[in-house]
Structure 1
Amino acid sequence: MAYHQRSASAPSSPRSNKPEIEQQLQGLSTTVSSPSATIETTCHGLRKLEGIYSSIEEMICTPSNQVSLCQSLQRKAVEAELGRSLVLLDLCNAMQGSFMELKMSVQELLLALRRGEDASSQVKAYIQLAKKAQKQFKKISKKTISDDKECRAVMLMAEARRITISLLESTSCLLLKQIEMPKCSLVSRTFQKSKFVCEEEQLWALEQSIGDLETGVELMYRRLIQNRVSLLNTLSS
């Protein structure tokens, strides 16, 4: 019980919080790069990232760090990170739009199944949307490359941003793979009752997963905005 109370409390100083943030980032990076990653682990990763960004914001808002971040060299690094944060916000916004379109595509697949129709066109539409999300991701994420290492806080933000990009990239790949399970039978005009139930359950689960991803990205989007506001307030103080 004492451990949980200690982990939930605010850090006594930025120095004590840094190793914890680094450890969380390292663990999350390992999870993201794992070949066994799933949509469920991705949703968990998004929740972890939201907490990590919250911890970074707490560190930024300490008086000692606010003074440090306003110094000449570090100020330039912070301003550069502010610019890159806009690109990350654009990426999150684009992913939310893609999730909405994919959910609608899954709903159309479900309707086709219930009517006993050939669902090949709906399957193709889903695949096209998933590939479109990947293209949007690659186009936007290229703008977020950074090699600034002047400031410890900026380094943590940059690492969190890198992991966020990797996580969103793996999400688009996982969503593309999800349709492969029911695809073979979905394009058939003949439906056995057991297969229909199985496919319907898979699609319901997929729709729920996309909704969970959408919620996770939205929460992280809000946290990123709060971090950006904290940085701007620090530079203007």
Structure 2
Amino acid sequence: MASSPLNSKSNHARSISLPSRPHPLIALCNEHLCRLGAFDAPSSSPSTLSNKLSCLQDLHECVEKLLQLPQIQQAIVQERHDTWVEELFDGSLRLLDVCSATKDALIHTKECARELQSMMRRRVGDMVLEREVRKYLMSRKVVKKAVQKALKGMERKCAEKNHETLTMVSTLREVEAVTLNVFESLMSYVASFKLRSKSSSWSLVSKLLLPKRVGCENEETERSELEKVDAALYSIISERTTKSDYTMQVENVQDLLGKLEPNVQDLEEELECLFRRLIKTRVSLLNILSN
């Protein structure tokens, strides 16, 4: 693996310090952060998540412009061995990794849902349908395990933060923290778990590890389409019903899958746009540190 630009040996004296006066772009970043903070913290509805991802794109576009400023680039190069530069560099990779994991979980969910929906439209026999339902539910377990792994990584890597720093550094740290929080919300949607207000990543991990109770919620809140699909499918394979009830259950799942697809597609597109912005930020940092 190629060595990090941060590891280059340079012992020359530093004469350039990070500007103490906030740049207008920093103020703009803070405005975007305020917009994101205005959303209800525990909400994981598709519409809210889509809006959050759109806001994140604006926020990271602002960060990209910030990194193009000559004085910022000089400060990064001159202070490349300082902790804040290392955190900025490592954070850009962390965001890419978490975004990629979130995107993979979302795409996997979408593809499995489409396959199940296609099978139901063909009106296959009960045995074939039950096999496909079990296949889908197994895929959901795979997604939840992937989410569990990603959340554990987020909890471990984001545990230590020192906020006694300059304005620009503090803002960039806040950008990373808010971005990870949105990814956490998106993962909770994909894995069908509720986020509590101001919850930590570990709270979600703990919830993933608890014994599962199908079709039962501790909180009186509206369930997402994914939760409803999971509950309905478990009912199909676990409950003994009449032919008419069984047909109604299958039709209900088809209806839920039809509502789910455009929501997941929209989130995937927003996430892909954000992923490209995160790549641009990473490339910019690499270019700056290679000078």
TM over 0.5: yes
Moved over 6 A (4+): none
Higher percent of residues as helix: 1
Give me the TM-score of the superposition, normalised by structure 1: 0.79
Looking at structure 2, the residues matched to 86 and 128 of structure 1 have their Cα atoms a distance apart, in angstroms, of 27
14, 18, 23: which one pairs with 2:31? 23
Q: C-alpha displacement at 1:69, in angstroms?
A: 3.0
**1:168-216 CA deviation, whole Å, 9 max, x = no partner?**
1111222233333244443337466776555323212322222222222
Looking at structure 2, the residues matched to 230 and 185 of structure 1 have their Cα atoms a distance apart, in angstroms, of 47
Q: C-alpha displacement at 1:135, in angstroms?
A: 1.0
Q: Which moved more, 1:86-95 or 1:185-194?
A: 185-194
**1:47-89 CA deviation, whole Å, 9 max, x = no partner?**
2111111111112211222233334388541232212221221
Runs of 5+ consecutive residues of structure 2 not aligned to the other structure: 1-20, 193-224
1:87 matched to 2:141: no
Partner in structure 2 of residue 38 of structure 1: 45
175, 179, 183: which one pairs with 1:164? 179
Q: How many percent of aligned residue pairs carry the same amino acid? A: 25
Q: Which moved more, 1:15-24 or 1:178-187?
A: 178-187
**Pairs aligned (count):** 224
Q: 1:148 to 1:224 in 2, by over 3 A?
A: farther
Q: 1:80 to 1:176 in 2, by over 3 A?
A: closer
1:72 matched to 2:79: yes
Partner in structure 1 of residue 281 of structure 2: 227
Partner in structure 2 of residue 9 of structure 1: none
1:176 matched to 2:191: yes
Q: 1:120 to 1:73 in 2, by over 3 A?
A: closer
Q: Greater Rg, structure 1 or structure 2?
A: 2
1:204 matched to 2:258: yes
**1:76-125 CA deviation, whole Å, 9 max, x = no partner?**
41232212221221112222222222112212331443326336414522
46, 57, 61: which one pairs with 2:68? 61
Looking at structure 2, the residues matched to 53 and 184 of structure 1 have their Cα atoms a distance apart, in angstroms, of 37
1:138 matched to 2:117: no
Looking at structure 2, the residues matched to 165 and 39 of structure 1 have their Cα atoms a distance apart, in angstroms, of 17
